[in-house]
């Protein structure tokens, strides 16, 4: 079975991508609002909580930080020890990770933003999934921008996804680096 994990703040194009992924035989795992958008379009989707067996906790601060998520992303496909761990822990391989991060930059750009609002828009699980997928790009495709979706679907259709993964990983690391830089700049100015 093929699995794709979708968890996005910017929902642009996510329903079309989800439909395409299902058409290519992927089972979808998704969180919160992303799962709701996909489900509303009548596309089959399993919530992260359904997949992990763990509820979202701490007001949604913890949902994707789970071994079944990160084990599925980080597992080497040609490592017998990784396979044994996955089978023992009932972890499915996740081959596609689609994540864009909480809108921190847009949030702190608002003139009336509160400290609490800014802090709650610091994404933790998203960058963790992005970095996990980018690290394991030999096996996993990571999409961090809706502008990547169409090219990815074309690559899936032509069997060219493997060739695309290194570039997607680079873009993912650039994305998280820019995100962290924005947070650190904001924090420096707030201190």
Pure H helices in 44-103: 48-52, 67-74, 80-89
Per residue in 93-105, pLDDT (tens digit) is 999 999 988 778 8
The yes-or-no verdict on residue 30 having pLDDT over 90 is yes
pLDDT at residue 161, rounded to an integer: 95
pLDDT at residue 123, rounded to an integer: 78
The yes-or-no verdict on residue 62 having pLDDT over 80 is no
- pLDDT range class, residue 60, cuts 50, 70, 90: low
Mean pLDDT of 83-108: 87
Domains, the chain, ordered by start: 2-190 (3.40.50.1380)
| Separation CA 67–CA 82 (nearest Å) | 13
Per residue in 135-157, pLDDT (tens digit) is 999 999 999 999 999 999 999 99
Average pLDDT of the chain to the nearest whole number: 89
């Amino acid at each position: 079975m093929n699995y794709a994990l979708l968890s996005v703040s910017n929902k642009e194009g996510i329903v079309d991508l989800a439909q395409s992924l299902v058409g290519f035989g992927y089972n979808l795992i998704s969180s919160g609002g992303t799962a709701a958008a996909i489900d509303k379009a009548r596309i089959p989707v399993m919530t992260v909580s359904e997949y992990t067996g763990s509820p979202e906790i701490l007001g949604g601060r913890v949902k994707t930080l789970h071994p079944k998520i990160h084990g599925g992303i980080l597992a080497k496909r040609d490592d017998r020890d990784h396979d044994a761990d996955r089978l023992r822990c009932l972890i499915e391989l996740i081959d596609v990770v689609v994540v864009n991060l909480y809108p921190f930059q847009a949030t702190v750009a608002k003139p009336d933003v509160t400290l609490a609002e800014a802090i709650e828009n610091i994404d933790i699980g998203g960058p963790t999934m992005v970095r996990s997928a980018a690290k394991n790009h030999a096996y996993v495709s990571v999409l961090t921008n809706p502008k990547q979706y169409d090219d990815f679907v074309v690559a899936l259709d032509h069997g060219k996804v493997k060739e695309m993964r290194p570039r997607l990983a680079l873009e993912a690391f650039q994305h998280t680096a820019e995100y962290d830089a924005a947070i650190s700049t904001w924090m420096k100015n707030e201190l």
